[in-house]
Amino acid sequence: MLFYTGFPDAKIFYSFYVYLSQKIEKLNYWRGRNEAGDSVPGYQGKKKPGKKRTLTGKEELFIVLVRLKVGLFVRDLSDRFHISQGHLSKIFTTWINFLLYELQELFPFPSQKMTRQNMPEEFKDYATT
């Protein structure tokens, strides 16, 4: 589990899933730039419209974490989970936006000023790094 997701064991992965579970049920898949949600990407305040999901929320979360941690290709993951590459891309984009929104208060990004102050000396000569 650690190698694939970054979580030490399945129990902690499941706890993270439970933390997100009520909002996962209401996620709407990303359908392109022109059809983005209002204020929260991929999240509507009601139950997800449309057909039932192909994968469970746990499976979708697992796919996203594996792609982030191990770097498996979309084609590889879509073959493993028996879904199309397009559908996997929609799942991935939806979850990335959702996780950014849900976790930004728990793990805020440092300001640009703070990042520059703590940058290793080796990088300071490269302004675009």
Query: Which 3 state secondary structure label does DSSP give 96?
Result: helix
- How far is CA 26 from each of CA 12, 50, 117, rounded to the nearest angstrom? 23, 11, 40
The pLDDT value given to residue 125: 80
pLDDT at 74: 97
pLDDT of 13 reads 98
What would the pLDDT profile of 36-54 be if each residue is shown by its tens digit?
554 455 555 556 556 678 8
C-alpha–C-alpha distance, residues 29 and 95, integer Å: 9
pLDDT for res 47: 60
Q: State phi, psi for 53 to the nearest 5 degrees.
A: -65, 145
pTM for this prediction = 0.76
* The pLDDT of residue 42: 56
DSSP class of residue 104? Answer: T
Check residue 9 and report its DSSP letter: S
Residues of the chain with pLDDT under 50: 38-39
At residue 39, the pLDDT reads 44
